[in-house]
Amino acid sequence: MTSNDDYVLQMMQEQGMVSAGQIDEAVLSLKDTGETVIDHLIRTEQVSEVEVLHLIAGQFGMEVVTIDPAGLDANLATVMTSEDARKYGVVPLHKAGDTLTVAMADPLNYDALDRLRFVLKCNVEGVVAPRADIVKALDTLYPGESDMDSLLRDIDDSAVDVETRGSSLDEQLGVHDASESDAPIIKLVGMIIMEAFLRRASDIHLEPLETRFRVRYRIDGALQDMEPPPKRLQSAILQRVKIMAGMKISEKRTPQDGRIQVNVKGRDLDLRVSSVPTNHGESIVMRILDKQNVALGLPQLGFLSDDQTRFEQLIGLPDGVLLVTGPTGSGKTTTLYACLGQINRPDRKIITVEDPVEYQMTGINQVQVNRDVGLDFSVALRSILRQAPNIVMIGEIRDSETADIAMEAALTGHLVFSTLHTNDAPSAVTRLQDMGVKPFLVASAVQAVMAQRLVRCICAECKEERKPTARELKMLGEAGAASIASATLWHGRGCPACSLTGFKGRKGIFEIFMMSDAIQRMIFDQRPANELRVAAREAGMRTLREDGLLKVASGMTSLEEVLLATMGDAN
């Protein structure tokens, strides 16, 4: 019933509403059902919902109300979207000035009020109402429930076993191969995937918690809570996903990986599925790989014109190593695929070594690492060099052997692309040396290193001017503040087009570290990364933050986004 049932149960005991014995008996009867103790006590009429609401509201100075659906102001439906009202479980009752009063069934759900204040850009105050009143009021204010709402209402406790396999989303939603009791769960999982695609999500997170089953989508790099299915459906949903991904449904104690291929509205999607056992069930993450996204060209990555010209010259070189660095999720693989797409021509042989092969590219030979048979990066790389390729792409340099082979390949006339995990571009040099690569190999083979981060783009539909805050100016420092002093700053107000986030889509900010004679001598002398960074900046390298601030000034992204992405780049 609430987000903190233990606290409420303690209050109920202190007020004599229930006994410890009643609570213990409820806990035993609820084992593996997913229902909460308080919901069970209310359903079995040991306490009334109104009594519980009055108890909680009295502790926090909130008012308990009853809602007459006929007396609701229809204009309030425009204050917030149906999606937000249902997701947070609130009903807008009235608005006076800058304060909106909403009714909620869970008075301890402070997070919902905080999120609504942020989303609606106004003060939001809560009152308490019975859950049945909330449901009726939502149906009155927002007629026409979603397919998922209707489906959840139709699923009963018998729909707990899923034994069918399907590889296309059309089949899942059409349930051609399912028994009658399985069909609702299959449809529900299909709708979760469909909704994620329509919202441009990159990941789907299914997370079993103690009293609820959380579903979150990662959209433009930020996780967003979705309206969760009931806790009682947790096992069936997870089981269905594991069947679709080809995992062992009987194995729940060890991590597993799988893959789902579906077609959504004519788009082929590849879902990489990972499960990890947690305290309250298996946590599953589905990473969505849209095969059409691999068609991104260099202009779509977010380069400024001078950086794009410089980068196009680098990927047009006949030999050498070009490294792309950054943390997980910074778009390194997308950049490498964009490079290969740019230079993929019939007169060139391109071979990649990947773990895993994320996108199939026409005209390119792609090798999947398989450690079970001894095919790791170094073994695969040695073999493909005997295939006489012009261009080689290595998914990631992870060890000294792979690094040495990559450097030697570059010195023998191959153009080598790869990724490395470092915070900035100059640090890639010292990282390679730490792996055991000799300084003369690094200096001779590496042509350039590009560090990158992803920042969210301001929604064009709700873009508006703003001024930097004192905190942001302090974080920028004198030099950074001076660089944007005359610029017009923008942010997204939030609108239906961007799901009220103010952002839509992401692009990169970049730092290109080019080799020069002076820097090569410094690498020979094994100078530290901070000295290489100073020398590169003197030679004209633009740092991640400097590149980001130029994109802030252009109106592409917000100052806050750049500051968050470049916290380690204070200079």
Of 207-211, 226-230, 306-310, 506-510, the poorest mean pLDDT is in 226-230
Instruction: Show Cβ contacts of residue 478 under 8 Å, excluding neighbours closer than 6 positions.
Output: none
What's the pLDDT band for 268 if we cut at 50, 70, 90? confident
Question: Does 134 have pLDDT greater than 50?
Answer: yes
Residue 3 has pLDDT above 70, yes or no: no
Q: Is the dihedral of CA 30, 33, 38, 39 positive or negative?
A: negative
Q: Is the pLDDT of residue 429 over 90?
A: yes
Are the CB atoms for 406 and 322 separated by under 8 Å? no
Report the chain's C-alpha Rg in angstroms. Answer: 28
CA torsion 63-66-72-73 (nearest 10°) is -10
150 vs 174 pLDDT, higher one: 150
Within 13 Å of residue 410, how many CA atoms lie on the same side as its CB? 24
Distance CA 148, CA 196 (A): 13
Predicted pLDDT of residue 153:
53
pLDDT of residue 4: 60
Please state whether beta strands 281-290 and 267-278 pair in parallel, antiparallel, or not at all (unpaired).
antiparallel
Three-state DSSP state, 226: coil
The mean pLDDT value for 372-394 works out to 90
Q: What is the mean pLDDT of residues 455-479?
A: 83
**Rounded CA gap, 558 and 545, in Å?**
12
Which pLDDT score is estimated for 144? Answer: 56
Best-predicted range by mean pLDDT among 105-109, 479-483, 491-495? 491-495
Residues 419, 397 contacting (CB under 8 angstroms): yes
Of 241-245, 301-305, 379-383, 476-480, give the lowest mean pLDDT range: 476-480
Is the pLDDT higher at 296 or at 19? 19
**What's residue 175's pLDDT?**
42
pLDDT tens by residue, 462-471:
898 888 877 7
Residue 296: which pLDDT band, with cuts at 50, 70 and 90?
A: low
> Mean of the per-residue pLDDT values for the chain?
83
Q: How far apart are CA 213 and CA 220, in angstroms?
A: 23
What is the distance between the alpha carbons of residues 376 and 380, in angstroms, rounded to a whole number? Answer: 6
Q: What is the pLDDT of residue 542?
A: 93
Q: How confident is the model at residue 493 (pLDDT cuts 50, 70, 90)?
A: confident
pLDDT band at 162 (very low <50, low <70, confident <90, very high): very low
- DSSP E strands in 75-116: the ranges are 90-96, 99-104
Q: What mean pLDDT is predicted for residues 279-301?
A: 82
Weakest mean pLDDT among 163-172, 453-462, 509-518, 528-537: 163-172
Handedness of CA 412, 297, 332, 489 (dihedral sign): positive
Pick the more confident residue, 9 or 273. 273
Can you name the residues that pair with 295 across neighbouring β-strands?
none
Q: How many angstroms separate the CA atoms of 554 and 484, rounded?
A: 10
Distance CA 93, CA 108 (A): 19
Render the burial of 415-444: b for 16+ CB within 10 Å, e for the rest. bbbbbbbbbbbbbbbbbbbebebebebbbb
Mean pLDDT confidence for 482-501:
79
pLDDT over 90 for what percent of the chain? 34
**pLDDT tens digits for range 326-346:** 998 888 988 998 899 889 988
Strands ordered across the beta sheet of 391-394: 365-368, 350-354, 391-394, 415-420, 320-325, 446-458, 503-514
